[in-house]
């Protein structure tokens, strides 16, 4: 079995674990049926589960009982999903489709979509707080991180900056700051939380924070590259959709080749950080290449 197939199996295996888990949590939740349907619809809408898979992979590099991080992984996917629902709203990006499926507010209605997002965000904290496998110290630490990474200092702050940067030219530095907040902070949460619960040392955690930072940038550069070179049916949106507006992208700022070279620099730095964190033999190494070379 080659590396790519092995990694693919690995990702699929964890993806199924996570999907089984969130269904279990939500199905047992006694809440209004329309709200549950709306929450489930977006959770089911076929994400790649990259964030929770990264969280599990990061845990695995240090710890051994994967059950201990399942609630954090599901909470993370819920927070990510809520952010997509709100992002797609008419007042925000006004998207009718995501990953080839109708967006939440198109299937339900705007009010329900807003509330389903609110519910997913809110419930994610209860999931962690009520996990019998975590001790109180761990719960507080994870909740504090999730709140900070996804809140005004993290993801939501990045969304505001991203909105303000639309239709104006921004520098590479400014763009990196936006990406670091908007997408990087949740990746940081994934990498940090897995390793933290797995009892990585503070020094290792510090190197992993660097790793997560570069991984976030790799993710974004590749997104921008795919917008230029990708195939529409794979990436689920029209190729070149960034081109028409003034939105800053890596290929626009550096040219396509420049963007590819920049990505290689980030990959090197990410792998170095993994090595410094003692995680050079973990699946995080292969996942870095996977992120860097993905075609959708």
Interface ranges with a second copy (CB under 8 A) = 29-32, 34-36, 39, 82, 86, 89-92, 105, 109-112, 114-115, 117-119, 121-123, 125-126, 129-130, 136-137, 139-140, 143-144, 146-148, 150-153, 156-157, 159-161, 163-164
Helices 136-150 and 185-197: crossing angle in degrees, nearest 10, is: 170
| Of 136 and 233, CB closest to a second copy | 136
Q: Which is nearer to a second copy, 152 or 240 (CB)?
A: 152
For residue 243, give every residue at least 6 positions away whose Cβ sits within 8 Å of its Cβ, in sequence order, or none: 227, 228
Residue 97's DSSP bridge partners are 102
CB of residue 32 vs a second copy: minimum separation in angstroms?
A: 5
- Tell me whether residue 20 or residue 153 sits nearer to a second copy (CB atom): 153
Task: Report yes or no: 51 and 100 within 8 Å, Cβ to Cβ.
Answer: no
Residue pair 185/156 in contact by the 8 Å Cβ criterion: no
Cβ-based nearer residue to a second copy, 67 or 122: 122
- Least Å distance, CB 121 to a second copy, is 6
Minimum separation from the CB atom of position 147 to a second copy (A): 4
Q: How far is the CB of 211 from a second copy (least distance, A)?
A: 24
Q: Is 29 left (phi over 0), alpha (psi -120 to 50) or beta?
A: beta
Q: Which is nearer to a second copy, 159 or 262 (CB)?
A: 159
* Cβ pair 265, 195 in contact under 8 A: no
Q: Which residues pair with 59 in a beta bridge?
A: none
């Amino acid at each position: 079995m080659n590396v790519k197939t092995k990694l693919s199996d690995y990702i699929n295996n964890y993806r199924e674990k996570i999907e089984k888990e969130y269904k279990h949590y939500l199905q047992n939740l006694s809440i209004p049926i329309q709200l549950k349907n709306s929450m489930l619809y977006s959770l089911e809408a076929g994400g790649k589960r990259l964030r929770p898979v990264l969280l599990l992979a990061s845990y695995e590099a240090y710890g051994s009982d994967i059950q201990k991080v399942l609630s954090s992984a599901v909470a993370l996917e819920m927070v990510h999903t809520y952010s997509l629902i709100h992002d797609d709203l008419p007042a925000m990006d006004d998207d009718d489709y995501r990953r080839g499926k109708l967006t939440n507010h198109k299937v339900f209605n705007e009010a329900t979509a807003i509330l389903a997002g609110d519910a997913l965000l809110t419930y994610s904290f209860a999931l962690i707080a009520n996990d019998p496998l975590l001790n109180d110290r761990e719960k507080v630490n994870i909740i504090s991180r999730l709140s900070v990474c996804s809140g005004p200092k993290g993801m939501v702050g990045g969304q505001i900056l991203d909105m303000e940067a639309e239709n104006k030219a921004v520098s590479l530095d400014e763009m990196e700051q936006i990406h670091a907040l908007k997408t990087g902070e949740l990746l940081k949460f994934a990498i940090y939380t897995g390793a933290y619960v797995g009892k990585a040392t503070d020094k290792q955690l510090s190197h992993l924070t660097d790793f997560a930072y570069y991984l976030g940038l790799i993710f974004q550069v590749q997104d921008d590259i795919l917008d230029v070179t990708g195939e529409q049916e794979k990436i689920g949106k029209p190729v070149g959709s960034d081109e028409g507006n003034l939105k800053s992208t890596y290929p626009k700022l550096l040219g396509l080749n420049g963007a590819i070279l920049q990505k290689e620099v980030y990959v090197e730095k990410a792998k170095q950080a993994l090595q410094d964190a003692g995680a050079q033999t973990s699946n995080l190494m292969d996942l870095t290449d996977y992120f860097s070379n993905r075609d959708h």
